[in-house]
A and B are shown apart, each in its own frame.
Chain A
Amino acid sequence: MAAMAVALRGLGGRFRWRTQAVAGGVRGAARGAAAGQRDYDLLVVGGGSGGLACAKEAAQLGRKVAVVDYVEPSPQGTRWGLGGTCVNVGCIPKKLMHQAALLGGLIQDAPHYGWEVAQPVLHDWRKMAEAVQNHVKSLNWGHRVQLQDRKVKYFNIKASFVDEHTVCGVAKGGKEILLSADHIIIATGGRPRYPTHIEGALEYGITSDDIFWLKESPGKTLVVGASYVALECAGFLTGIGLDTTIMMRSIPLRGFDQQMSSLVIEHMASHGTRFLRGCAPSRVRRLPDGQLQVTWEDRATGKEDMGTFDTVLWAIGRVPDTRSLNLEKAGVDTSPDTQKILVDSREATSVPHIYAIGDVVEGRPELTPTAIMAGRLLVQRLFGGSSDLMDYDNVPTTVFTPLEYGCVGLSEEEAVARHGQEHVEVYHAHYKPLEFTVAGRDASQCYVKMVCLREPPQLLLGLHFLGPNAGEVTQGFALGIKCGASYAQVMRTVGIHPTCSEEVVKLRISKRSGLDPTVTGC
């Protein structure tokens, strides 16, 4: 044992916990007196989904844990509670507002199904926002309680590194506090990017940090960007009856399957969202009546154009929240291009006992469930004797545009790039959800495609589903891909009738065949 402790010492502080666990008496000797005096086994910087998952997992394993979290108000002054982006300004409020928009569609469907709804039907932003915010606040509270229950110390302070084991936190009142820990996990996430080079962008524009916390309806809105955030926000704004325009420079949903992305856009356009494609804003001014005048350039023609809006929402990407962390003091390396933290497959940064997970890390999917799982696995490796690494392949996700887009695995483009056109078989179908029939809804964009290897048994590479409840449909098939499912196996799965997801197990038409992929009949 002693020999092992000595051997480990040579590797730096990284395995100290193990030294502690194995031969507690040696602990002090391991790295001077400092180790014994450190306040915590684990300090988590950032109280979002990933950070909280780490903290709770470590506490469960009997470790002494602290979480520091601090929300820097947005340029418009919006602030929120514990739980990070997902809970406060991301997935949760976004899906609830998406649901509000979907309900608007259902109210229109209802008369076809015999419900006599008197006109007019109006939407009250304040009522929705208040209900959504109340739910978010209850979640903030829940997170606080969960930390308390698990005896995790929580500090509402803004943290920056002092050295590689110590973090200095500044509380709202300006009071400073020093915290030291054997292991530190950085999980500070990201914040929306502002196009600061555009005049008026910062003063007059808002971002997804603000939209869910607006007290009044945003009114006529310009959404700038083509990310899923941009499309989702524009989608629900349109759905609750607001005049909404999306301005995008180039392609929508970069990185997603482009055929699916076009269908998403096509559906939005046919449901009232306006599009300004190939345009880039150059100036935002406030008019005397309070409206915002936006000037943009049509990049194809070089012509300038102008429009007025009540609200301008920037959704042009996110930047990691690393600047105020003083990472250089600890020696943690970041990418010079993105400022994101560089880590290895064990989530370790350039400093072996400092780790990073979630949106703040270079090259990771910016998704809540990946951060949570990566965090749990990391803590299991640190304190639970596990060696399991996070598998970042085949991460399923869903874009909650008015017509939802669920996907897992490779896009058609990626599949072709990796395996070559001649080795890829794509099965696809245009289908009509049963619920759409009686309601007389248009289903032109309801589409499903499965990307497979062409060689039997035709392993599944990717699944793309556009239609209602896409998230619910996709989740199970993500498992299928994890299990190494083949086209043949999916075809042997009996459908659940009548659902939309059964269309997946009925895919018979390959793109290569050139046959009409429209599903007719039952």
Chain B
Amino acid sequence: MERSPPQSPGPGKAGDAPNRRSGHVQGARVLSPPGRRARLSSPGPSRSSEAREELRRRLLGLIERSRVVIFSKSYCPHSTRVKELFSSLGVECNVLELDQVDDGARVQEVLSEITNQKTVPNIFVNKVHVGGCDQTFQAYQSGLLQKLLQEDSAYDYDLIIIGGGSGGLSCAKEAAILGKKVMVLDFVVPSPQGTSWGLGGTCVNVGCIPKKLMHQAALLGQALCDSRKFGWEYNQQVRHNWETMTKAIQNHISSLNWGYRLSLREKAVAYVNSYGEFVEHHKIKATNKKGQETYYTAAQFVIATGERPRYLGIQGDKEYCITSDDLFSLPYCPGKTLVVGASYVALECAGFLAGFGLDVTVMVRSILLRGFDQEMAEKVGSYMEQHGVKFLRKFIPVMVQQLEKGSPGKLKVLAKSSEGTETIEEVYNTVLLAIGRDSCTRKIGLEKIGVKINEKSGKIPVNDVEQTNVPYVYAVGDILEDKPELTPVAIQSGKLLARRLFGASLEKIYHTLFWPLEWTVAGRENNTCYAKIICNKFDHDRVIGFHILGPNAGEVTQGFAAAMKCGLTKQLLDDTIGIHPTCGEVFTTLEITKSSGLDITQKGCG
């Protein structure tokens, strides 16, 4: 239900909001209350969400307790066919005729929330949502229905989750809180370089957490430079020690791994450090490090296996190159580094490595940060270039050779132009591949139970409730097809959606360069940080894109993301009082549109 559209479920909202701001009539602006649109679609008045929750619980209870439930309408011929099918199988059904109960319409509404199916009949067999009439007959023909019927609650678990990353763990904990018997299978296949880690998945072990900590370490290097301008005095010789940093970060990660173990235990979720693989319907084989195999069954499954870094498939890549899986726990300083790729992983890693004072080159096949606003992406690139990161554009590596072993050793990289025939050769200590990630979906036995994957991408197509084509198997996280890999880029998708819907010409873009106050005294360059919003001219200048390049960008963006959920417009931005002196306040005083072509460089303080 997390994905319900951005409208408030509650009543009377549009009436309440102006009350809170009474005492200051806004003149003409009252005519276009921009915040309202997002709320208009709230369902009928006087329905408390508590009653709704109650109904939902009752329905789930009914589904839970019954072998077969058919939500039906007495006059519906499809419902009748389904009822006849079950009676021909000699199965007793719990039938709820929605046209004959008082709150039938509400039941149907809540059902559509639970199942994303609006129509009747709506059939559940042993807690599994089978679907409507057609799906039920298909399941009957394929034998799945009979199988579902056989399976009483004889399963070992209510839910088995394959993959103990952010998605899998939150799912496990939530299900456990709801009283389910849950198991999590998590197993980290070592990287080609032999790196492996604990519970928690990519984010905690080889993603967001260590990445941001290394980013922080690099920022501290900048802070040390700044601090002298602010009067701090100490020996000029400041060196960065990779081992000290890595050890501190790995210690923190270990504590998080342990914390996850603990919280699973507290919630009575069974955790098994084994590799999970489907062997037949509702049955999984778990193989541990020693190769011992155990079998478990469950009523439902969630696949949350995530992704792992991709390799180039060229000579020497798996032998000598590392990926983000290895970098954060590398026992030695990587030295002169070639980063291959232009994803955010590539740029983030290159950024902090350069921040430690290392010689860093990024090799880019085509564009930076595909999928992000390209103006912002180019600005990121040129900022990095000004700060010592070298870029080799339009080249791809063709071979990596080891010249010398060591920590780090020496690698010769041969690359060729992606456009012409030019080749270049260079020696690096470390080559970091960050060219993309592949879903871990091909070796978990999905074919044994018929879960469809996209053969090309390895991703799993799901419906709006994250259900795969096999009704009792769900999938979450990075492995989903057509879902943003990093959900937080909602801003971007909003913009893309708007682009698709309206075409670019209906947008109005406001922008400015700015100089963070903290940078002034530190003598850091002016006119580097950049803020931009994109508005839809034909929807009250609704803000459909928000971009900031500068310090603490994450902290700044979060609140605006919440505001965009509530129907943020340019007018509301203008009406909001800035917090002085911060970077975030630039968004309350944006005046120059991009189309005006006016100068946005900053000379003084606004």
| Inter-chain contacts of B200 with A (CB < 8 A) | 522
**Among the listed stretches A15-23, A139-147, A271-279, which one makes contact with chain B, having 4 or more residues with CB under 8 Å of it?**
A139-147
Cβ-based interface call for A494 (8 A) = yes
| Inter-chain contacts of A493 with B (CB < 8 A) | 558, 561-562, 565
Please pick, from B221, B260, B561, the residue contacting A115 in the complex, using a CB distance under 8 A: B221
In the complex, the answer to whether B233 meets A123 with C-beta atoms within 8 Å is yes
| Inter-chain contacts of A122 with B (CB < 8 A) | 232-234
Shortest beta-carbon distance from B300 to chain A in Å: 24
- Complex A-B: 20 CB contacts under 8 Å: A103-B227, A107-B223, A114-B217, A120-B234, A139-B605, A391-B24, A392-B24, A396-B576, A396-B579, A434-B212, A438-B251, A453-B16, A456-B11, A474-B559, A475-B585, A478-B559, A483-B35, A484-B20, A486-B8, A486-B13
**Among the listed stretches B61-69, B135-143, B276-284, B548-556, which one makes contact with chain A, having 4 or more residues with CB under 8 Å of it?**
B548-556
Shortest beta-carbon distance from A212 to chain B in Å: 12
In the complex, the answer to whether A113 meets B559 with C-beta atoms within 8 Å is no
| Inter-chain contacts of B77 with A (CB < 8 A) | none
Cβ-based interface call for B244 (8 A) = yes
Please, how many angstroms separate the alpha-carbon atoms of A321 and B212 in the complex? 48
Counting chain A residues whose Cβ lies within 8 A of the other chain, the interface size class is: 35 or more
Please, how many angstroms separate the alpha-carbon atoms of A96 and B585 in the complex? 17
Please pick, from B204, B518, B580, the residue contacting A99 in the complex, using a CB distance under 8 A: B518
| Inter-chain contacts of A504 with B (CB < 8 A) | 558-559, 562
Please, how many angstroms separate the alpha-carbon atoms of A131 and B488 in the complex? 39
Shortest beta-carbon distance from A268 to chain B in Å: 20
Binary B-proximity of A486-522 (CB < 8 A = 1, otherwise 0): 1011101111111111101100000000000000111
Once A115-B239, A457-B9, A483-B566 are accepted as A-B contacts, the answer to whether A497 and B203 lie under 8 Å apart by CB is yes
Which 9 residue pairs of A and B lie closest in terms of their CB atoms, listed nearest first? Answer: A476-B559, A142-B604, A114-B245, A475-B584, A128-B231, A457-B10, A484-B17, A501-B558, A479-B563
Shortest beta-carbon distance from A137 to chain B in Å: 12
In the complex, the answer to whether A484 meets B244 with C-beta atoms within 8 Å is no
In the complex, the answer to whether B238 meets A100 with C-beta atoms within 8 Å is no
| Inter-chain contacts of A266 with B (CB < 8 A) | none
**Among the listed stretches B152-160, B321-329, B449-457, B567-575, which one makes contact with chain A, having 4 or more residues with CB under 8 Å of it?**
B567-575
**Among the listed stretches B25-33, B80-88, B338-346, B417-425, which one makes contact with chain A, having 4 or more residues with CB under 8 Å of it?**
B25-33
Please, how many angstroms separate the alpha-carbon atoms of A142 and B603 in the complex? 7
**Given A96-B520, A114-B243, A484-B35, 12 extra CB contacts under 8 A:** A106-B220, A121-B233, A123-B231, A127-B231, A139-B604, A391-B575, A484-B20, A484-B39, A486-B566, A492-B565, A496-B558, A499-B558
Please, how many angstroms separate the alpha-carbon atoms of A224 and B460 in the complex? 64
| Inter-chain contacts of A422 with B (CB < 8 A) | none
| Inter-chain contacts of B603 with A (CB < 8 A) | 142, 145
Shortest beta-carbon distance from A177 to chain B in Å: 27
Residue of A nearest to B554 (CB): A499
| Inter-chain contacts of A135 with B (CB < 8 A) | 520-521
Please pick, from B25, B26, B209, B246, the residue contacting A434 in the complex, using a CB distance under 8 A: B209
| Inter-chain contacts of B241 with A (CB < 8 A) | 114-116
A-B contact count (CB 8 A): 358
| Inter-chain contacts of A109 with B (CB < 8 A) | 220
Please pick, from B8, B232, B578, the residue contacting A475 in the complex, using a CB distance under 8 A: B578
Residue of B nearest to A105 (CB): B223
In the complex, the answer to whether A456 meets B217 with C-beta atoms within 8 Å is no
Cβ-based interface call for B374 (8 A) = no
Please, how many angstroms separate the alpha-carbon atoms of A92 and B563 in the complex? 28
Restricting to B511-570, which residues have a CB under 8 Å from any CB of A?
517-518, 520-521, 552, 554-563, 565-568
| Inter-chain contacts of A116 with B (CB < 8 A) | 238-241, 244
In the complex, the answer to whether B8 meets A521 with C-beta atoms within 8 Å is no
Please, how many angstroms separate the alpha-carbon atoms of A106 and B356 in the complex? 16
Cβ-based interface call for B331 (8 A) = no
Residue of A nearest to B250 (CB): A438
Please, how many angstroms separate the alpha-carbon atoms of A463 and B356 in the complex? 37
Cβ-based interface call for A37 (8 A) = no
Please, how many angstroms separate the alpha-carbon atoms of A486 and B49 in the complex? 14
Please pick, from B16, B555, B573, the residue contacting A472 in the complex, using a CB distance under 8 A: B555
Once A123-B231, A131-B231, A369-B588 are accepted as A-B contacts, the answer to whether A479 and B568 lie under 8 Å apart by CB is yes
Cβ-based interface call for A477 (8 A) = yes
Q: Which positions in B face A, CB cutoff 8 Å?
A: 2, 4, 6, 8-11, 13, 16-17, 20-21, 23-29, 34-35, 38-39, 48-50, 166, 200, 203-204, 208-209, 212-213, 216-217, 220-221, 223-224, 226-227, 229-235, 237-246, 248-249, 251-252, 256, 259-260, 263, 356, 487-488, 490, 517-518, 520-521, 552, 554-563, 565-568, 572-573, 575-585, 587-588, 603-605
In the complex, the answer to whether A497 meets B520 with C-beta atoms within 8 Å is no
In the complex, the answer to whether B25 meets A472 with C-beta atoms within 8 Å is no
In the complex, the answer to whether A485 meets B565 with C-beta atoms within 8 Å is yes
Please, how many angstroms separate the alpha-carbon atoms of A87 and B517 in the complex? 11
Please, how many angstroms separate the alpha-carbon atoms of A391 and B562 in the complex? 21
| Inter-chain contacts of B27 with A (CB < 8 A) | 386-389
In the complex, the answer to whether A475 meets B24 with C-beta atoms within 8 Å is no
Please pick, from B26, B220, B557, the residue contacting A476 in the complex, using a CB distance under 8 A: B557
Please, how many angstroms separate the alpha-carbon atoms of A406 and B577 in the complex? 13
In the complex, the answer to whether A106 meets B605 with C-beta atoms within 8 Å is no
| Inter-chain contacts of A99 with B (CB < 8 A) | 230, 517-518, 521
Please, how many angstroms separate the alpha-carbon atoms of A107 and B259 in the complex? 29
Shortest beta-carbon distance from B308 to chain A in Å: 19
Shortest beta-carbon distance from B362 to chain A in Å: 22
Once A96-B521, A115-B220, A480-B563 are accepted as A-B contacts, the answer to whether A106 and B248 lie under 8 Å apart by CB is no
Once A367-B577, A387-B28 are accepted as A-B contacts, the answer to whether A483 and B568 lie under 8 Å apart by CB is yes
Once A114-B240, A369-B580, A473-B555 are accepted as A-B contacts, the answer to whether A389 and B224 lie under 8 Å apart by CB is no
| Inter-chain contacts of A337 with B (CB < 8 A) | none
Once A389-B24, A478-B579 are accepted as A-B contacts, the answer to whether A485 and B566 lie under 8 Å apart by CB is yes
In the complex, the answer to whether B558 meets A502 with C-beta atoms within 8 Å is yes
| Inter-chain contacts of A143 with B (CB < 8 A) | 604-605
Shortest beta-carbon distance from B221 to chain A in Å: 6
Please, how many angstroms separate the alpha-carbon atoms of A458 and B16 in the complex? 10
| Inter-chain contacts of A499 with B (CB < 8 A) | 554-555, 558
| Inter-chain contacts of A406 with B (CB < 8 A) | 579
In the complex, the answer to whether B234 meets A118 with C-beta atoms within 8 Å is yes
Shortest beta-carbon distance from A423 to chain B in Å: 12
